[in-house]
Chains A and B, each alone.
Chain A
Amino acid sequence: MHVITLRAQGIAKHFGVVRALDGVDFDVHGGEVHALLGENGAGKSTLLSVLAGVHAPTAGSIEFDGEPYAPRNPLDAVRAGIVTIHQELCSSPDLTVEQNIVLGREPRVRRRGLRALVDRARVRELAEQALERIGASVAPTARVADLGPSERQLVEIARALAFDVRVLVLDEPTSSLTAVEVERLFAVLESLRADGRAIVYVSHFLEEVMLIADRFTVLRDGRTVGSGKVAGAEIGGIVELMAGRRLDEVYPPKRERARSDGSSIVFDVREVVGKSLPREARFSLGRGEILGVFGLVGAGRTELLRALIGLDPARRRIISVSSDRDVLLGGGPREALAHGIGFASEDRKDEGLALDLTIAQNITLSGLERHARFGFVRSSSVREASERCADAFDVRRASTEQAVGRLSGGNQQKVALARLLHEEANVWLLDEPTRGIDVASKSEIYRRIHSLANDGASFVVVSSYVPELLGICDRIAVMHRGVLAQSRAACDWTEHELIEVAARGVDRRAVQDRASEVDQ
């Protein structure tokens, strides 16, 4: 069988004085999954753009299937059979699944004079073939906007198949998937691999890479710093290659703290019921406590936080904030902020940050009034406060007057969190606080969360990444189909158990037993 090969040698890409890539060697063969690893800013995205025909390399050569490969635009790349599926899926949400699958190469009616029309029967056929090929049970007529992220991704893969993909490039494909969905994706990838197609797999989740990839290449500072077979490699070694630091240094040392007693409860959620989600949730948060919330995508974790902060309308919401007095919250984000409850969105680009505003503006936006006299803002006061908060989260920057959009993902996330610091929040509601950011930034954020908690701030951390929850939380609760179960100390959970409970839900009787034990 003919095995195709994509081989890039000595690739460099300079943007002005910035050397995004400076000597990258990378190759992938048909029938293998090749993981491309590296922290944010290491040059993975630039390399992908070069392969996808978005950027032409400044130096170096690429060979594809024995011939020089120099795509002038993305369409060239797709025509050659190199298809990239981006982290932010770029399908057209208003079109149907089948329309998306054939988008850009719609089959035409063959009859003369009617060639401007789309052959709908053939579209259906192509779409069904492609969907069936990857075992996706998605209706071809469903609107993509109505699908979840995992189904959208399958549609993208089906689309790549319809384009007769030879090299499939996946950029952070699992960042918004649940464990079960990841398994399904891996099954699809394995069948594509068996089919002789080449897969380039970019991910921050090394555990997944160890499961799915055959070989890996690590980039750092725009260069290839290592590559090899996954079999026999160790995560610790790969992380060291990526970051120059050891894996056990990623999570801060465990905190010594007892289960908070009733007197120090600072945030008591007696009931939250959203419009559809969450269905049932009650929990309380002690001073300096970090509560992790795990669950499948769609379980209602994000909706829980949004209902708590008042961003989404809630059907019933009884929360008391009892730092010194009992206050029941009923209003929107403004009221929550006024009571020291801060929220960081899971979607920092679309919601969390205003990307074209400056670092200083983003940090102070929720509390500008504090820097104002007679409605006018004192810029020295804003500068001073934003410098202080940016320093606390170690935001790497030229100045706080820089636009946030120019920062790396990790630094953007630090700005989003620095805003809560500026709000002087006592209760931090964090939705996927480390999604899609590099290991070094993650580690810094974990340490910062711990030091804030030691100073008395309380946290609710929603995450889909189990090691993270086990690594930083005091207690973890699982959400299943809109119901938040009783929390348990983090040390009482195993990774396997969390995933199982998230998928199946807790036996309710067992929960009640455990709750009564706590009461006694």
Chain B
Amino acid sequence: MTSGSILRALRPCIGLAIVLTVFALHPQAEGFLSVFNFKIVANQTVIVGLAAIGATFVIVSGGIDLSVGSIIALSSVVCALVLRAEYGVTLAMVSAIIAGCVCGLVNGLMITMLRIAPFVATLGMLGIARGAAKWISGEQKVDVPPAALESGGLQAWMSNRPDPEWLWFSPGVWTTILLALIAAYVLRRSVFGIHVTAIGSNEKTARLCGIRIERTKIAIYSIAGACAGLAGFMLCARLTVGNPTAALGKELDVIAAVVIGGASLAGGQGGVLGSMLGALMMAFLASGCKMTGSATYVQEILIGTIIVVAVSVDVLQRRRA
């Protein structure tokens, strides 16, 4: 590991440390560092965190996915509709993941078969998935039927008081942690993961080395879609409603988390665990701002500043090297 990549890995940690210190010292943010608050923040990280797992693969491969927010909304609607048809929570989750995965697959096909730039292809999907969500929901929120909300049902996935209690975090948080660990290992150590990095680092070299670029890219965007689909399920679990207008602009939070986490939008660099820390940092920032009663615009300006500072530190570091 070179000194540059260590610094890259430290970037989200430093950001997180600063955010934690600032609010811990803030007189109005009482209980910011409490266990209780940490549970809440962890829970609030789940949706961006899950989507950021997939987005890390996309960004490391040199691509971008703007359709995340719309896919989350579509999946949350699909989830609620499946529950309303009384098919049970498990099938609802599977359906949400499949819905997301299909959107991602279409993204991948547009990018590889039609050779549309990822920015444009996923911009298209941003509109299509959002529209589809409104269409199948009849442009209304889809309430989850009470039967599905009974104990051990949908809500349990995102509950701050998990059952059994020794779980400490909600199952949604544990799912995110587990998936993140698996994804981190896959990205670093699997043939697929290294091919993803190689494509992002230099696609021409990857082609010359006989890597199946089209197939790999389709897989990447499908995974990203599936992750967003799971995030949609978690959103439905938290809100107990499938909302076609939810998660507007969420894709930008997801991209921000990945970039703060050390990824380069030029591709070839980035890691899943960094993205998770980036997502956690943004959730802590939101929580701190809420506690101190700061207006949302303060939070927005802060997140914007952190992105710019995080990336410019990296650029300066590279220039000196």
List chain A positions with a Cβ less than 8 A from chain B.
309, 311, 332-334, 336-338, 343, 345, 350-357, 361-362, 365-366, 368-369, 372, 375-377, 379, 401-403, 419
* Bound Cα distance A288, B205 (Å): 27
Pair B212/A334 contact, Cβ less than 8 Å: yes
B290: Cβ under 8 A from any A Cβ: no
Pair B189/A333 contact, Cβ less than 8 Å: no
B155: Cβ under 8 A from any A Cβ: no
* A379 and B201 in contact, given A337-B210, A343-B208 (Cβ under 8 angstroms): no
* Bound Cα distance A336, B209 (Å): 10
List chain B positions with a Cβ less than 8 A from chain A.
1-2, 185-186, 189-192, 194-195, 197-198, 201-202, 204-212, 268-269
Which residues of B lie under 8 Å from residue A343 when comparing CB positions?
A: 208
Which residues of A lie under 8 Å from residue B190 when comparing CB positions?
A: 372, 375-377
* Bound Cα distance A390, B191 (Å): 21
A-B contact pairs, 27 of them (CB 8 A): A309-B208, A311-B207, A333-B208, A333-B209, A334-B210, A337-B209, A338-B210, A351-B204, A351-B208, A353-B202, A354-B205, A356-B201, A357-B201, A357-B268, A361-B194, A361-B197, A365-B198, A365-B206, A368-B191, A368-B194, A376-B185, A376-B186, A376-B189, A376-B190, A376-B191, A377-B194, A419-B209
Which residues of A lie under 8 Å from residue B201 when comparing CB positions?
A: 354-357
Pair A368/B210 contact, Cβ less than 8 Å: no
Closest 9 CB pairs of A and B: A366-B209, A334-B210, A354-B201, A354-B202, A351-B204, A333-B210, A365-B209, A337-B210, A354-B205
Which residues of B lie under 8 Å from residue A368 when comparing CB positions?
A: 191, 194-195
* Bound Cα distance A393, B192 (Å): 28
Pair A356/B198 contact, Cβ less than 8 Å: no
The minimal Cβ–Cβ distance linking B229 to chain A, given in whole angstroms, is 23
Pair A354/B198 contact, Cβ less than 8 Å: yes
Residue of A nearest to B205 (CB): A354
Pair A350/B204 contact, Cβ less than 8 Å: yes
Which residues of A lie under 8 Å from residue B206 when comparing CB positions?
A: 354, 365
Pair A357/B208 contact, Cβ less than 8 Å: no
Task: Find A351's partner among B186, B205, B268, B269 (CB 8 Å cutoff).
Answer: B205
Pair B189/A377 contact, Cβ less than 8 Å: yes
* Bound Cα distance A481, B201 (Å): 35
Which residues of B lie under 8 Å from residue A366 when comparing CB positions?
A: 208-211
Residue of B nearest to A332 (CB): B210
Task: Find A361's partner among B185, B189, B198 (CB 8 Å cutoff).
Answer: B198
* Bound Cα distance A487, B197 (Å): 42
* Bound Cα distance A366, B269 (Å): 20
Which residues of A lie under 8 Å from residue B210 when comparing CB positions?
A: 332-334, 336-338, 366
Residue of A nearest to B210 (CB): A334
Known A-B contacts: A354-B202, A365-B194. Give 18 more (CB < 8 A): A333-B210, A345-B204, A351-B208, A352-B205, A355-B201, A356-B201, A356-B268, A357-B198, A357-B202, A357-B268, A365-B206, A366-B208, A366-B210, A366-B211, A372-B190, A377-B190, A379-B189, A419-B209
The minimal Cβ–Cβ distance linking B45 to chain A, given in whole angstroms, is 27
Which residues of B lie under 8 Å from residue A351 when comparing CB positions?
A: 202, 204-205, 208
Which residues of B lie under 8 Å from residue A379 when comparing CB positions?
A: 189
The minimal Cβ–Cβ distance linking B152 to chain A, given in whole angstroms, is 34
Task: Find A352's partner among B2, B208, B212 (CB 8 Å cutoff).
Answer: B208
The minimal Cβ–Cβ distance linking A504 to chain B, given in whole angstroms, is 33
Which residues of B lie under 8 Å from residue A337 when comparing CB positions?
A: 209-210
* Bound Cα distance A379, B204 (Å): 24
* Bound Cα distance A345, B206 (Å): 12
The minimal Cβ–Cβ distance linking B112 to chain A, given in whole angstroms, is 14
* Bound Cα distance A333, B204 (Å): 12
* Bound Cα distance A351, B207 (Å): 9
